[in-house]
Chain A
C-alpha cells in the first residue's frame, strides 16, 4: 500500500513539473511530503515487518477476524464477486432490471432464503427503488449496454 502511494506521489510531482506555477504550486507542496512520508512508511514496513504494521492501533472501523482464515478469505472473495457482479449487471442491463434481479439472486443463491421471502423482498426493493428514486427523486437512470445494443440493431424500439 505504501509503495502504491509512493508511486502516486511521484506521479503527481512529475506531472506538476510541467504545469504553470499557479497550477503546480499546491500539488508540489502536497506531493513532496506525501512521497517522503510514504517512503518512510514503506521502509518501516520493509525493515520492521510485522512491527511496522499497526492496524490494531487505528481508531477506525475494523474488519472482523475469524479463526478460520480460509473461510474468511472465501467469504471475502464471494462478497467481492457479488459486488462486482452487481456492478456489471448495472452496466449491462441498467438499474430498473438489475436492482430486482440482483436482490432476488442474492437472497436465493447466497442467502438461501425461501421463495416467498426472496420474492417479497425483491418486490420491496424494486418498489422502493422505483417509488423513491424514479418517481420521487426523478433520477434519470441510464439504459444498460444490452438495451443500447439492441436498440442500435433496431431489435428494441
Chain B
C-alpha cells in the first residue's frame, strides 16, 4: 500500500504529468473565478483534450482543474457577492459582508487557507479509506454493483431538489438518462436500438457532445440574457490588507476547520449531495459554534467563522472521488463527467482501481493535494489582478464559450452528427432547466446506463430472480428506500415541530 502511495506521487511528479497538472490547475483557477462557467461545464469542455493522453497525464489535467474550482470560486463570491460557482453561495453571507467592511483580504486569507486545509483533509481521507474500501468493493458481485448504481441514482434523484415532488422529478430525470444510454447497438444481442437508420447512432450517443450542450448552452443563454459582464455591474474594489490575519484565523479556529472539513468529507462521499449542500451544512454548523445569542447575531454580518466553515467543506472534492473510484458511482456532476473520462481512457472504475490501478488511484490523491497547494499559493500572490477578470463583458466571453462547446462536441467522433447532438443536448438541457427538471440525475443515468444494463443482465441471466434475495442486495435496496423516504420524513418532522412551536406561542 505504501509502495503504491509513493508510486502515485512519483507518477504525478513526472514532468509531463506535472505539466498537465499545472495547466489543469491554471484553467481551473479561471473557471472558478469566472461565474459564467461552471466546473462541470469546464470539465466537459476539456474532455476532448484527453484523447491522446495516457491516464497518468489525463487525470492530473482534469482533476487538477476540477479540484481547485471551488477554491477559487470562493474568491469571486467574497469579492463581489456573486458566486464563482453554484457551490460557493454559502460563503457570500459572511465573506462578502467582510469585504464590504474593508476586510476582503482577511476573508480571502481565511477562505483560501481553510479551503487548502479542507482539500488536504479530503485527500487524506481518500488515501486512508482505500484500504477499508478495497475488501468491501472486492466482495461485491454484479447484483450488488447494480444495486449500488440504483442507490446512486436514488441518492442523486432525491437530493437534487427539495420540496414536494423533487424525488419524482429526479427519478424521471435519472430514468430519462438511462433511456438515452440505450441508443445504439445492444451489447448483449447486437440488435440496433433507436438508431433510426443512422450509422452515426450505431455506437450510441457520445458523452462529450451531450455534456457540452447540456451544461454549456443553458449557461451561454443565461449569460446573454443578463446582458452584463460576467460579474454583473459590481465594483471590483481593492482587496485591502489582512490576508495574513485571515490565514491566522483559520488556525485560531482550527477545531471548526476540522469539523467542517469532516462534514465536507461525509457529504462528499454521498452520491448526489453536491458541493452546495456541503457548504450550507458547514455554514450552519459554523453558526452553531456561537456560544451566545449575540455572537450568533454576528453571523451574516462578517464573522470570519462564517467564511472558514463553508471554505473548509472543500474537503468534499477529495472525498467525492472515493465512490467514483471505488464503486463507479459519481458523487457530483463534476465527478460524473470525470467518470466519463475513466471510460474514455479505457479504465472501468471499481475493483480494478483498488488493485490493478492502485498507484493511479493514489496519484489522484496527490493531484488534489498538489493542485490545491499551487492554486492557493498563486491566489495569494496574484489575487488583485485576477479579480479584475470578472469584469469581462458577456459579448466577449460568449462567442469563445460557444466555440469551445461546438468544437469540443465535434471532436467526439469528428462527425456532423456530433454537432447536431451538441445542439440538441443544449436544447434538452435548457428545457430541463426551464421546467425545473434537475440535470445531474440525467447525466448520471446516461453515464451509468451501459454499466447498469450490463450488471442487470449478468445478474438476471446468472442468478435468475434469486439475486434479489442476496443479503447485500437487500441491505443496499433498503438503504435506497431509506434515502428516498428520508426527505419526506424530514419534512414531516419539521412540520410537526413548527406546529408545536405555534401552539406554544
Contact = CB atoms under 8 A, between A and B. Distances in A.
B42 to A, nearest CB: 13
- Main SS of the interface on chain A? helix
Given A26-B457, A57-B163, A64-B222, A139 B169 contact: no
B102 interface: no
A73 to B, nearest CB: 9
B138 interface: no
B240 to A, nearest CB: 30
Contacts of B4: none
Interface string B374-404: 0000000000000000000101101110110
A93 interface: no
A25 B456 contact: yes
Contacts, number: 208
Interface in B187-222: 188-189, 191, 193-194, 215, 217-222
Given A90-B406, A137-B411, A107 B172 contact: no
Given A22-B188, A23-B186, A54-B436, A59 B276 contact: yes
- Main SS of the interface on chain B? helix
A153 to B, nearest CB: 21
Interface stretch (B223-231, B249-257, B303-311): B223-231
Contact of A34 (B172, B402, B434): B172
A63 interface: yes
Nearest to B188: A22
A106 to B, nearest CB: 4
Interface in A73-111: 75-76, 78-80, 82-84, 86-87, 90-91, 95, 99, 102-103, 106-107, 110-111
Given A54-B161, A57-B161, A99-B403, A26 B456 contact: yes
10 contacts: A9-B175, A34-B172, A34-B175, A52-B165, A53-B435, A53-B436, A56-B436, A59-B274, A83-B426, A141-B410
Interface of B: 38, 48-49, 51-52, 86, 159-166, 168-169, 171-172, 175-176, 178-179, 182, 186, 188-189, 191, 193-194, 215, 217-222, 224-227, 274, 276-277, 393, 395-396, 398-400, 402-403, 406-407, 410-411, 414-416, 419, 423, 426, 431-440, 452-453, 456-457, 460
